Amino acid sequence: MKNSCKVHMAQTAGSMRATFVLLAAIVFCAPACMPSGSFKITTIPENQTLRERVVIKDKFWTSNRVAIIDIQGLLMNAHANSLFSEGEHVVSFTVEKLQKAADDRRVKAVVLRVNSPGGTVTASDTLYEEILAFKQKTKKPVVAYFQDVAASGGYYLSCAADEIIAQRSTVTGSIGVIMQMVDVSGGLSKLGITTDAITSGEYKDAGSPFRHMTVEERELFQTMVNGFYAQFVDAVDTGRPNLSREEVVKLADGRVYLAQQALDAGLIDRIGTLHDAIDVAKRRAGIEDAHVVLYHRPLTWAPNVYAQSPAPPAAGATINLLNINTSSDWTVRPRFLYIWDCQSQGI
């Protein structure tokens, strides 16, 4: 019995040593795989309230501010993927920034810096409604500025802004809805695998990836998609008063547009840079001078106005050091999406 205990303790000690060696390898060998620099180990402040950082200074005597609020990546009602911790919840994080801008009397206008292919219908619509509520409550102008991609849900929420400016290299549009479905029944049958479901109603397992969709189920889902599509058209129709509803419907076939095409079609107001968007925001607020600020968590470094690098529009990411695939499962579980689905278009 004593010998077995000793063996068990030795195995446990060996396992702990192996874990320690692995962690040590990550800590000490990572610098060899990464650009030269330094590592800082510090405590994380308990108070994670957003901080303000001035990234563009105007005349020193002015107290006015223009706040840049970034809306990046996939719009989901979930926390973003992160290696060692739970990332920010894009909807919650954006609303938190809007609230800070609303509470600060020095903030006279907001620039939404959008770089997103869209996301779920609910997340996109929630942000759209929150921006409208911010404008109604504060009477502060909101200008949307598009970076690489501002498509589908990214464009949807921007329709709540007072003016839309796009970089000349922006891709935007993709007005429409998609419900991505997966059918793996053919592959399972080749493996000799069958599935069965006991349901309380005819449509309880509608959209299941384990069987073919019936005609009735497709009609049911199509009706729902059409409803969300009408909601999207309503938002564009309201936000783009220069376009009739008939013109919006003609443009809303799901295609994407280059910035110049979007300008010619009336989907945006002008082509310009971030600085142009800031100038428009100041003009709409009726001010000439203002510092430009970003909001960030404690310990987050923001040396200039471009410090918040655009989040990749793709649905997944690869962390090179550990080669961890963090791709989303939105293509597996049926969801209603305002998203530019590049993958289904072979891009």
CA-closest candidate to residue 251, choices 240, 241, 239, 265: 265
Strands of the sheet containing 336-339, edge to edge, are 118-120, 336-339, 178-179
What's the pLDDT score for residue 318? Answer: 34
Q: Report pLDDT digits (tens) over 159-196.
A: 999 999 999 999 999 999 988 878 787 887 788 888 88
The Cα 321–Cα 107 span in angstroms is 40
Residue 268 CB neighbour total at 10 angstroms: 27
Mean pLDDT, to the nearest integer, of 233-248? 96
Distance CA 144, CA 68 (A): 10
Token pair of 256 as six digits:
């994407």
Known catalytic residue: 152? yes
Structure tokens at 41: 């180990």
Domains of the chain, first to last: 51-345 (3.90.226.10)
Phi, psi torsion values for 285, nearest 5 degrees: -85, -10
The phi, psi pair for 46, rounded to 5°, reads -65, -35
Burial of 123 (0-12, 13-18, 19+ CB in 10 A): buried
From 6, 59, 137, 204, active-site residue: 204
Question: 298's torsion region: left (phi>0), alpha (psi -120 to 50) or beta?
Answer: beta
Give the tokens for residue 327: 């791709």
Per the CB < 8 A criterion, the answer to whether 318 and 324 are in contact is yes
Q: What is the C-alpha separation between 154 and 215, in angstroms, rounded?
A: 32
- Tally Cβ neighbours within 10 Å of residue 1: 5
Q: Give dist(CA 154, CA 344) in Å, integer.
A: 18
Catalytic residue, chosen from 116, 124, 152, 208, is 152
- The secondary structure element, H or E, covering residue 234 is helix 215-239
Q: Which residues contact 123 (CB under 8 A, 6 or more apart)?
A: 75, 76, 77, 90, 91, 153
**Cβ burial, residue 94 (10 Å; 0-12/13-18/19+):** buried
Which tens digits make up the pLDDT trace of 203-215? 787 877 788 888 9
Nearest to 306, CA basis, from 322, 294, 317: 294
Average pLDDT for residues 195-224, to the nearest whole number? 84
What is the full DSSP assignment across 178-233? EE-----HHHHHHTT-------SSTTTTTT-TTSPPPHHHHHHHHHHHHHHHHHHH
Res. 61: pLDDT tops 80:
yes
| pLDDT mean across residues, the chain | 80
CA distances to 5, 6, 23, 29, 341 from 9, in Å: 6, 5, 21, 29, 53
pLDDT at 314: 42
The reported pLDDT for the residue numbered 342 is 53
- pLDDT level of residue 84 (50, 70, 90 thresholds): very low
For position 15, what pLDDT does the model report?
A: 53
204 tagged catalytic: yes
Structure tokens at 264: 């010619």
Segment 246-272, tens digit of pLDDT: 999 999 999 999 999 999 999 999 999
Phi, psi (degrees; rounded to nearest 5) at 61:
-85, -10
CB contact set of 160 (below 8 Å; sequence gap of 6+): 128, 129, 131, 132, 135, 142, 235, 239
